[in-house]
Amino acid sequence: MSKFKYGKLKLTSTFLFIKLGKKYNNCESCGSEKTGEDEGSMHFDGVTGHFKRTCKCGWEIELVFEKVE
Ligand SMILES: [Zn+2]
C-alpha cells in the first residue's frame, strides 16, 4: 500500500483518507456535511494522492499529497 506525506507524518492511503474525511467533513463555506447526489462529493485517489471535496454551494478544495513509498 502506498504511503503519503502528511505534514511530518507518513500515512497509508487509508489513514490519510480517514484524516481528510474528518478534516473536510464540513464545508468551510456553508458548513454542510453532506455528500452525494446534488449535495457534494468527497474523493481520494489512493494511487495518485489526489483529494477533492466539493459542496453544492460552490466551495471546493483540491489537494495532492506526495507519495513517499
Ligand atoms: Zn458548502
Residues whose CB falls within 8 Å of the CB of residue 9, separated by 6 or more in sequence, listed in order = none
Q: What percent of the chain has pLDDT over 90?
A: 96
pLDDT of residue 65: 97
> Residue 69: pLDDT above 90?
no
Residue 69 lies in a domain: no
Residue 8 lies in a domain: yes
Residue 37 alpha carbon to ligand 1 centre in Å:
14
Residue 7 lies in a domain: yes
Q: How many domains does the chain have?
A: 1
Average pLDDT over residues 39-68: 97
Residue 44 lies in a domain: yes
Residue 47 lies in a domain: yes
Residue 26 lies in a domain: yes
Closest CA to 23 of 58, 56, 63, 69: 63
Can you give the pTM of this predicted structure?
Answer: 0.91
Per-residue pLDDT tens for 23-34? 999 999 999 999
Residue 30 alpha carbon to ligand 1 centre in Å:
4
Residue 31 alpha carbon to ligand 1 centre in Å:
6
- Pairing type for strands 40-45 and 60-64 reads unpaired
* Domain, as residue range, for 51: 3-64
pLDDT of residue 12: 96
Residue 14 lies in a domain: yes
